[in-house]
């Protein structure tokens, strides 16, 4: 695919497709259907995609050293083995209760896993108690480090600059709909105080994101039918229209890291007049992405469920 405009890349019956992730080892993209409790894998060819059913809602995935993935399920972060069926191994229990779930997450440039969460209630009942935190690294106490934020409605938009020294995140709830940026210490994995990066999108609200090799921050405009690119200085310089209203997250991949895959969701009520809602789209936007750094699962003390 060499299209500069988005083309349909994959379509199934997903309700909430999220967290697309390129694996060079598998030569394929993985992604999740959060509400469908399913993990997907596809290489973009005419071959059928493969999927695995999961016992809980799955918020996001990341690569792990030695193959396989790590996944933020509702009650904790797990190592996923995909070679023979689906093997799950709990790495760290969630620091939240049954009324919460994980949402957006990814590894920093050193392989430390950051993940955000949200309260499961909808509408006015949703409480601002979503956390954004990372798993502990060797020498750090406990399974989790202190949260960067604990007052988010819908933690989202995680991304890291090419040099790893900048962390981006958003709150995609309609009442917030903004993106923050932090200075990030790559040696310690600690983030500085958040400051405003995008206070309002021109359309929609900020959802999942990706950072390209030039430092551009690509953010999906959920309810805005677009994916937007911002420069590191916070200036909007690209707007790509999409054939669906609710894109959720984008990711770079392919052998040359020049393919941008964009996931989408159906309206929350589950009804839609657009048959493309929930599908994945792809285009070559003319810039390359960055490979994700795998997480070294062996560095987390195993915890039994």
pLDDT band at residue 298 using 50, 70 and 90 as cut-offs: low
**Overall domain count for the chain:** 1
- Predicted structure pTM score: 0.95
Instruction: Give catalytic status of residue 212 as yes or no.
Output: no
- 36 domain residue, yes or no: yes
Give the pLDDT confidence score for residue 305 in this predicted structure: 33
Quote the CA–CA distance of 83 and 92 in Å, as a whole number. 22
Choose the catalytic residue: 207, 212, 258, 277: 207
Give the pLDDT confidence score for residue 170 in this predicted structure: 98
The percent of residues in the chain predicted with pLDDT above 70, rounded, is 95
Residue 127 has pLDDT above 60, yes or no: yes
> How buried is 284 (Cβ within 10 angstroms: 0-12 exposed, 13-18 middle, 19+ buried)?
middle
- 118 domain residue, yes or no: yes
What does the pLDDT look like over 96-120, one tens digit per residue?
999 999 999 999 999 999 999 999 9
pLDDT band at residue 3 using 50, 70 and 90 as cut-offs: low
Quote the CA–CA distance of 57 and 32 in Å, as a whole number. 9
- 305 domain residue, yes or no: no
Residue 122 has pLDDT above 90, yes or no: no
Q: Which domain holds residue 159?
A: 7-299
- 60 domain residue, yes or no: yes
Quote the CA–CA distance of 67 and 70 in Å, as a whole number. 10
Quote the CA–CA distance of 252 and 244 in Å, as a whole number. 19
- 23 domain residue, yes or no: yes
- 289 domain residue, yes or no: yes
- Cβ atoms within 10 Å of 162's Cβ, excluding its own: 16
What's the CATH code of the domain at 183? Answer: 2.120.10.30
Give the pLDDT confidence score for residue 83 in this predicted structure: 84
Residue in 261, 159, 260, 161 with CA at minimum distance from that of residue 213: 161
- 73 domain residue, yes or no: yes
Rounded average pLDDT over 130-136: 96
DSSP secondary structure string, 219-267? EEEETTTEEEEE-TTS-EEEEEE-SSS-EEEEEEESTTS-EEEEEEB--
């Amino acid at each position: 695919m060499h299209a500069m405009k988005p083309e349909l890349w994959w379509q199934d019956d997903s309700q909430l497709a999220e967290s697309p992730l390129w694996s060079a080892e598998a030569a394929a993209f993985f992604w999740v259907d959060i509400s469908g409790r399913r993990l997907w894998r596809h290489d973009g060819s005419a071959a059928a995609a493969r999927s695995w059913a999961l016992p809980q809602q799955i918020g996001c995935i990341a690569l792990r050293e030695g193959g396989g993935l790590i996944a933020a399920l509702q009650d904790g972060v797990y190592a996923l083995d995909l070679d023979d069926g689906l093997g799950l191994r709990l790495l760290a229990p969630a620091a939240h209760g049954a009324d919460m779930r994980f949402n957006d997450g990814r590894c920093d440039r050193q392989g430390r896993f950051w993940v955000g969460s949200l309260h499961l209630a909808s509408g006015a009942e949703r409480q601002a108690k979503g956390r954004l935190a990372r798993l502990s690294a060797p020498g750090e106490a406990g399974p989790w480090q202190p949260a960067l934020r604990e007052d988010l409605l819908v933690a989202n938009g995680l991304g890291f600059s090419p040099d790893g020294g900048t962390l981006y995140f958003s709150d995609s709830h309609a009442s917030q709909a903004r993106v923050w940026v932090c200075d990030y210490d790559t040696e310690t994995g600690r983030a500085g105080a958040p400051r405003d990066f995008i206070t309002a999108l021109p359309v929609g609200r900020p959802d999942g994101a990706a950072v390209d090799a030039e430092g551009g921050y690509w953010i999906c405009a959920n309810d805005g039918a677009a994916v937007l690119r911002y420069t590191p200085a916070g200036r909007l310089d690209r707007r790509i229209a999409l054939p669906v209203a609710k894109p959720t997250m984008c990711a770079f991949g392919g052998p040359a890291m020049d393919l941008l895959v964009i996931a989408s969701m159906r309206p929350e009520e589950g009804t839609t007049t657009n048959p493309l809602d929930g599908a994945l789209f792809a285009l070559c936007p003319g810039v390359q992405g960055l490979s994700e750094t795998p997480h070294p699962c062996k560095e987390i003390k195993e915890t039994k469920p």
